[in-house]
Amino acid sequence: MPLTLTCLPGIPLIRPGDNLVEMIGTALERAGLVLQDGDILVLAQKIVSKAEGRMLNLARVNPSARALELAASIDKDPRLVELILQESREVLRTRPGTIIVEHRLGFVCANAGIDHSNVAGLGDGQEEWVLLLPENPDDSAHRIRQGLERAASVHVGVLIIDSHGRAWRQGTVGAAIGLSGMPGLVDLRGSPDLFDYTLRITQVGAADELAAAASLVMGQAAEGTPVVHVRGFPYPLREGSLEELLRPKELDLFR
């Protein structure tokens, strides 16, 4: 089966408390798509965070002494630095304008994934709003998946993605931050290659590969297409989690 990725049209701007399952169902009907067993829905992190009310007003943040000191050294808003520290396990690297952290969810990213772009405030337009990552993206993906499966009586996967930089290349790519009903990692060790050589170390970051493809279809700016329907995923669906994709610290040569 060919792999097809289709952006779902007409997803409105998301507000706290919105029902993403209902919105996705309406968008699927609009696109003329009926969910089948094995389909996957890929969601941009922003709509999940917005629906879960993860928007914060910087005017209400009181920076700590540590945030003030770090902000002065990298020329960054100390209120934002305070939120980055709250969302992180450890600060790994800094440079003017950027903080690289180990996020509380376990992955390494810039600025704890906190975003200014495409974040509409609730009220005074002069206030500065930012968007944090979902509290638990795996749980978010699972709840959305359950809602879709109940509505359509099928077995599907759900993937929540964000844009991440990489230690060894320029540019951001889509990366998985939460998943349910699909593999994060596909272990091919022990399988034969084209010439019957037994693979010994090959593990495929299947969720990240799909995240990158879906991100390419979604776009990175003002496209307004935060949900992608996927059919033809080349691996069997199963229960999965973000943890599969996280490299243990002792194996991370970039730390």
| Closest among 233, 228, 54, 245 to 140, alpha carbons compared | 54
91 belongs to a structural domain: yes
Pair 103, 218 in one domain: no
253 belongs to a structural domain: no
Between 207 and 1, the more confident residue is: 207
Pair 42, 141 in one domain: yes
Segment 219-252, tens digit of pLDDT: 865 568 999 999 999 999 999 999 999 999 898 8
101 belongs to a structural domain: yes
Segment 180-227, tens digit of pLDDT: 999 999 987 788 878 887 878 788 899 999 999 999 999 865 568 999
CA dihedral sign, ordered 82, 104, 170, 8? negative
Q: Looking at residue 153, which CATH number applies to its domain?
A: 3.30.1330.100
Pair 148, 213 in one domain: yes
d(CA 252, CA 246): 10
Pair 60, 43 in one domain: no
Domain residues for 95?
Answer: 55-131
Q: State residue 223's pLDDT score.
A: 60
Confidence of residue 83 (pLDDT cuts 50, 70, 90): very high
Q: State residue 190's pLDDT score.
A: 80
Q: State residue 115's pLDDT score.
A: 87
Q: Indicate the residue among 131, 164, 185 that finishes a domain.
A: 131
In the predicted model, what is the mean pLDDT of residues 127-136? Answer: 92
Residue 121 has pLDDT above 70, yes or no: no
Q: Looking at residue 127, which CATH number applies to its domain?
A: 3.90.1660.10
250 belongs to a structural domain: no
Q: Indicate the residue among 131, 161, 180 that finishes a domain.
A: 131
Q: State residue 118's pLDDT score.
A: 58
Pair 80, 205 in one domain: no
d(CA 99, CA 74): 8
Pair 44, 153 in one domain: yes
Pair 101, 77 in one domain: yes
Q: Indicate the residue among 82, 109, 131 that finishes a domain.
A: 131
Pair 165, 212 in one domain: yes
Average pLDDT, the chain: 92
Q: State residue 242's pLDDT score.
A: 97
Pair 173, 215 in one domain: yes
Pair 30, 140 in one domain: yes
Confidence of residue 136 (pLDDT cuts 50, 70, 90): very high
- Mode of pairing for the β-strands spanning 40-44 and 157-166: parallel
Segment 13-67, tens digit of pLDDT: 999 999 999 999 999 999 999 999 999 999 999 999 999 999 999 999 999 999 9
Pair 28, 117 in one domain: no
- Domains: count for the chain: 2
Q: Express as a percent the part of the chain with pLDDT over 70.
A: 94
